[in-house]
Amino acid sequence: MLDIDAKDFTGYTILYFAAEEKKDETLTYLAAQRATLDASDIAGWSVAHSAATAARTAILEYMAAEGANLNVQDAYGRAPLHVAVLEGNLETVKLLLRLGADHSIANEYCRRPCDIESIAPEIKGVLVKFRHATGAPKTSGLPQGPTSESRRAIRARKPDEYTLLASNPLVYATDAPSIFGT
C-alpha cells in the first residue's frame, strides 16, 4: 500500500508536488485519502506556502476548512502571508487574513508582513486597515531591523577585501591565495 504522506529526500510529499504542479484532481484524491495538509519540507516550506506563492486560493480555502495551519513558518520565519505579500498577491493576502492568518508573525529579520519594504501600496493598505480593524498594536514589540540611517551608513562604508571575498559566491576557497596576494 502506498504511503500518501511519504517524503522524498527534500521532505516533499505527493500533496506538495500536486499543489506545485496544479494537479487539482490529484489534490482532491489525496485530500479524500486524508493526506497530511500541514506537511513541510526540510526548510519548513509547506503546501500553504506554495499555494500562497502561486495564488491558489481554492487550496488555501480547503486547507483552512480542514483545519490546516495557515500560520506555519518556514526555516526563515516566513508564514504563507509573508509569501503572498512578497509575491504581490493581493487577493491571496485578503483571503489569508479572512481565514485567520496571523498578520503579526515576524520572520527571521523581525519583519511582519506589513513591515516588508518592497510591499505593494494596495497590499500595505489592506494590512494596515486589517490591523486597525482588529485593534492590533502598531509594532510587534520585536526589534524591527536596521533603520534607513544605518543602511545608508553601511552602504557608505568601503568594503574591505574580506567582505568582497565573503560576499561573492563565485569566489571559491582555491581562489583565496591569488586574491590576498599570497
What distance in Å separates the CA atoms of residue 114 and residue 38, rounded to the nearest whole number? 25
Please check the confidence at residue 20 and state whether its pLDDT lies above 80.
no
C-alpha cell at 41: 519540507
Reported confidence tier of residue 138, pLDDT bands at 50, 70, 90? low
Reported confidence tier of residue 136, pLDDT bands at 50, 70, 90? low
Average pLDDT over residues 48-59: 90
| Minimum mean pLDDT range among 43-52, 80-89, 138-147 | 138-147
What is the residue type of 88? Answer: G
Give ∠ CA 74-22-58 in degrees, rounded to 5.
75
Kindly tell me the burial class for residue 109, based on how many C-beta atoms sit within 10 Å of its own C-beta (0-12, 13-18, 19 or more): middle
Q: Are 60 and 90 a contacting pair, CB within 8 Å?
A: no
What distance in Å separates the CA atoms of residue 11 and residue 46, rounded to the nearest whole number? 10
What distance in Å separates the CA atoms of residue 68 and residue 105, rounded to the nearest whole number? 17
What distance in Å separates the CA atoms of residue 10 and residue 43, rounded to the nearest whole number? 8
Reported confidence tier of residue 147, pLDDT bands at 50, 70, 90? very low
Please check the confidence at residue 173 and state whether its pLDDT lies above 50.
no
Given this model, what pLDDT does residue 93 score?
A: 96
Distant-in-sequence, close-in-space partners of 42: CB < 8 Å, separation ≥ 6: 10, 11
Q: What is the pLDDT of residues 88-117, one digit of tens each?
A: 999 999 999 999 999 999 999 899 998 888
Give ∠ CA 143-148-151 in degrees, rounded to 5.
90
Write down the residue that cell numbers 576557497 correspond to: 173
Domains of the chain: 14-145 (1.25.40.20), 146-182 (no CATH)
Reported confidence tier of residue 143, pLDDT bands at 50, 70, 90? very low
